[in-house]
Amino acid sequence: MTNHEDTVIVTGSTGFIGSALINKFAARFALIGLDRATAHQPPPAAECVCIDLTSEKAVAAGLRRVRTVYGNQIASVIHLASYFDLTGEPNPLYDEIAVHGTEKLLRAVQSFEVEQFVFASSMLAHKAGQRGNVISEDSPLQSNLPYRTSKIKAEHLIHEQHGPIPVLYLRPAGVYDDLCRNAFLANQIARIYEKDPTGHLYPGELRTGQSCLHLDHLTDAVSRLIERRKELPSELALLLGEPEVMGYGDLQAEIGRLIHGEPWETRQIPKTLAKTGAWVQHNVLGEDLFIRPWMVYIADDHYAVDITRARKLLGWEPQHSLRDTLPKIVTALKADPPAWYRANKLNAAQVADRGAKARARQTFRCRARNDACRTHGRHRRHGRDGRDGLANDLGAFSGGRPRRLASHQSVSVRPVRSSRGRHSSRHYAGARSLGANPAQCTNRVERCRLRRVADAVWLARPVASPLMGTMGHNGRRSLAVICAFVLLNAKRCSLCEQHDHRGARDRFFRAGTDDAGHEP
């Protein structure tokens, strides 16, 4: 590795984009992955050096290791490490990691001979445009959310402190690959796949959308940046994205057609109703859903990018679009839904009984269960009616349900992840022992769910009464639709919880299989 002429440092090397860049650069550069100490490691093509961007001493110690092994000259520093969360609320980590962490890293590499410092910013740092307009690198920036603010602050800091080091502000669109792995797009596809009623609603203009970028095209652009680093200006901003932008309604219809064979109908609803529904589900019903109020606020944002500068300086242009890749994404989802859900950090238990692999497992279980029944019939003919233990053993061995389950054991209720992959206060009944009664578990889940829905309706009375009085006929009708969808979602979630219990019981019987479980 040390025989390579050029050394490239990648921060955030264990992440989605960082790992892809290292795999792209393998055998071409001496690669160093700077990242915090975790259970994950960057791809083997890079040496892993553990650092903590919030500690100046840790950053200095990591770069001493780089100097000792690779020398004083660095071809490029690709700075991907950052911070993001879904709350939309200010968090000290935005400044500690994205802003001050960048400052510490930039200050530490000043003592090296660095030919290029690439800061991974975001297309979203720009102010959203209007449908029909495109955004260029000269378009104004807007810090209306904590994540976007952190990127803009970091860019300003680099501009003031980069000194003789050439810098580049890379502003890519939302990145995806052939398995999706884009949180916003993956949740949108999952809602349509599960036929979630809320997937028919959108609180913004259906013709607006955002440019996207395939992971392969991003890695190709960064590779060209490194190769042409000596030809580029000393300070440069660069937008990367696909020229074609699919509107939200068009995207919904195409996903529905690919999954269900027919377009998915989407209706526009008022933002106030959407925010109210998201607040009730999150704060009253206790659902930790993916949709947050701040997402409703930016639902009308439109981002179409002008990539003229990338074409001119890098000779770069995306070779295919999201529309071209959607069939591959949906094919992977249909082939193995649990694996696709796990790859996108969703709750695979929601779809454990779907897909070709699940159907094959179900066929095997049915055959094994039938064999057990036939064996039990032979025992009956031989006068072994009283030996229920044999039938239970055969049921456990075959993955089927035991012939008799005792009802006297206690039942526990423990939290599981919500349908979008994060912990929720939703519960399912889990048997403390093999003898728990499934009906007992289901009844307890239903009682818990109904109590929460009743509490939600009671708490919403003071808000609903004046709201209904100020609304017109159409507004009251929309509010009724939202309430109906909330109640339908409650029922759907309770059914999923029953499924989770059955899946947990089956996994107890069939230890070692690849059935989908809850995310750790």
User: CB 303: neighbour CB atoms within 10 A?
Assistant: 23
Task: Give the pLDDT of residue 358.
Answer: 58
Residue type, 27: A
Examine residue 217 and state whether it is found in any structural domain, yes or no.
no
User: CB 285: neighbour CB atoms within 10 A?
Assistant: 20
Record the tokens describing residue 230, joined without a space. Answer: 């000596």
User: CB 66: neighbour CB atoms within 10 A?
Assistant: 21
Task: Give the pLDDT of residue 251.
Answer: 96
Examine residue 140 and state whether it is found in any structural domain, yes or no.
no
Task: Give the pLDDT of residue 294.
Answer: 87
Examine residue 142 and state whether it is found in any structural domain, yes or no.
no
Examine residue 380 and state whether it is found in any structural domain, yes or no.
no
Nearest to 167 by CA among 221, 108, 118: 118
Strands (E), 378-467: 411-417, 423-431
User: CB 68: neighbour CB atoms within 10 A?
Assistant: 8
User: Which residues of the chain are modeled with pLDDT < 70?
Assistant: 1-4, 39, 282, 284-288, 355-367, 369, 372-520
What 3-state DSSP class applies to 146? Answer: helix
pTM of structure: 0.70
Cα gap 150→97, rounded to integer Å: 9
Task: Give the pLDDT of residue 283.
Answer: 72
Examine residue 475 and state whether it is found in any structural domain, yes or no.
yes
Contact indicator for 236, 199 with CB cutoff of 8 Å: no
**DSSP string computed for 453-465:** HHHHHHHHHHHHH
Kindly give, in sequence order, each residue whose CB lies less than 8 Å from that of residue 421, ignoring residues fewer than 6 positions away. 341, 344, 345, 346, 347, 519
Task: Give the pLDDT of residue 5.
Answer: 74
H or E stretch including 233? none
Cross-strand pairs, 305: 135
Examine residue 448 and state whether it is found in any structural domain, yes or no.
yes
Examine residue 408 and state whether it is found in any structural domain, yes or no.
yes
Q: In terms of DSSP H, where are the helices of 123-268?
A: 146-161, 183-193, 215-227, 248-260
**Domains: count for the chain:** 1
Cα gap 502→507, rounded to integer Å: 9
Task: Give the pLDDT of residue 291.
Answer: 79
Kindly give, in sequence order, each residue whose CB lies less than 8 Å from that of residue 109, ignoring residues fewer than 6 positions away. 63, 74, 77, 117, 165
Cα gap 245→365, rounded to integer Å: 46
Cα gap 460→475, rounded to integer Å: 17
- CA 227, 78, 147, 191 torsion-angle sign: positive
Examine residue 406 and state whether it is found in any structural domain, yes or no.
yes
Cα gap 400→365, rounded to integer Å: 6
Structural domain for 499, as ranges: 388-509
Cα gap 128→415, rounded to integer Å: 39
